[in-house]
Amino acid sequence: MTQIEIRSSVELPSKRELFQLQTEDGLKLIAELALPIDKAPVATLITLHPLPTAGGFMDSHIYRKAANRLPQLADLAVLRFNTRGTTSPHGTSDGAFDGGKAEVFDVRAAVNFVTAAGLPNPWLVGWSFGTELALKYGPELDVLGAILLSPPLHRTSDEELERWNSVDKKIVALIPEHDDYLKPAEAAARFSIIKDIEMVNVIDAKHLWVGESATKRVLDEITRIANPAAYPLPDFISL
């Protein structure tokens, strides 16, 4: 066996499948599913990427590292996909960016795929723009809840936040101390609308979660929520 340090761009063993999601309005979206190799997943992460017009896509680093690590380390399935009109190294999805409106069909397509595939305990995991999609559409979808990374709350109305009070879903928000758009104090004020929300303020972190310590913290928090038995993630693994 070889001991591997878990950091940077390490890619641990997983079953990977590149495929296309089909939306209700007739588009095909580039997608990838990463699964544990020798066991069934405990839970499923449906990842919603940052703003495509600012360089966000399914391969944005936190999600790429989640797919590279979490199937092996935390028994999690990781679904990544490019929303409409988004290009990444994996390819370009049909359609055009719609500012979070028509993207409802993209989110539904991802959740419907997970349901049809029988994947367990689905969570929406949004990052930046992806948090807006999770907040807007999560209450109506068959998911356990939403994990929010660096929510800017630019496109989400107070009325949409209020909807979370009428559903039995967990919502957790990771707020970087030095976020460019919504710092902890501002986040506490905006999210006070939601009665049962867990706010995790992350010291020294920034909106893009750059650096291994930031990546480790995010993936640890995701694991704590989706599969607490695997928390905290190890720093080394023997393969």
Residue 207: CATH number of its domain: 3.40.50.1820
- Give the pLDDT band of residue 1 (cuts 50, 70, 90): confident
Which range of residues forms the domain containing residue 171? 3-238
- Looking at every residue in the chain, the average pLDDT score rounds to 97
Give the global pTM.
0.98
Measuring CA to CA, how many Å separate 119 from each of 17, 51, 110? 14, 27, 12
Q: What is the pLDDT of residues 47-104, one digit of tens each?
A: 999 999 999 999 999 999 999 999 999 999 999 999 999 999 999 999 999 999 999 9
Q: How many domains does the chain have?
A: 1
When pLDDT is averaged across residues 169-179 and rounded to a whole number, the result is 98
pLDDT at 100: 98
pLDDT at 9: 85
